[in-house]
Structure 1
């Protein structure tokens, strides 16, 4: 789909695939195009694995989300803040990317 529609913007929930984050790291993370992952329902994802996905896919294409009430926005935010990535990348994930994607200044 991405190859046929290279300008299509796609947002994949749950960091690409709920509870299948190892597969995401192997198969989806780093794909070309406007493919975004959101952080909904990811408080259970191991920090190290989430960090690997963010590093491979690029913090520019990760969007903060919680899937509330099924997961805690607080826990997901705390997870992102724990990651060993730059403060700028954390800011991107926690709001700047969504603002850019939606055209909000």
Structure 2
């Protein structure tokens, strides 16, 4: 599982790496506001390969949660990202 640390803060690179390695699952946490990342990741990887990341205790999890909740994706995709995927993985 990885976030943008594998791509030095560049979500597009992280998505490209995940596209080439089918066993990589991305999480949503980031210390920056990354508008559109969730939509791009779902479009290119599918919601099944994205899990919610809170960045706690570094940051308040509210902004990470809102990144997913406000994303322009299906409600089913939001449910997968916000909990169903990690439950399946564990």
TM interval, short-chain normalised: 0.7 to 0.9
Structure label with greater radius of gyration: 1
Residue 63 of structure 1 is matched in structure 2 by 51
Identify unmatched segments of 5+ residues in structure 2: none
TM-aligned CA deviation for residue 29 of structure 1: 4.2
Structure 1 CA distance, aligned partners of 2:76 and 2:9?
27
Residue 34 of structure 1 is matched in structure 2 by 23
Runs (4 or more) in structure 1 with deviation over 6 Å come to: none
Moved more, 52-61 or 67-76: 67-76
Residue 19 of structure 1 is matched in structure 2 by 9
Tell me the number of residue pairs that the alignment of Structure 1 and Structure 2 aligns.
90
Greater strand fraction, Structure 1 or Structure 2: 1
Identify unmatched segments of 5+ residues in structure 1: 1-10
TM-aligned CA deviation for residue 23 of structure 1: 2.1
TM-score (norm 1): 0.71
TM-aligned CA deviation for residue 16 of structure 1: 5.3
TM-score (norm 2): 0.81
Alignment counterpart, residue 48 of structure 1, candidates 32, 36, 39: 36
Are 1:99 and 2:87 matched, yes or no?
yes
Greater helix fraction, Structure 1 or Structure 2: 2
Structure 1 CA distance, aligned partners of 2:58 and 2:20?
28
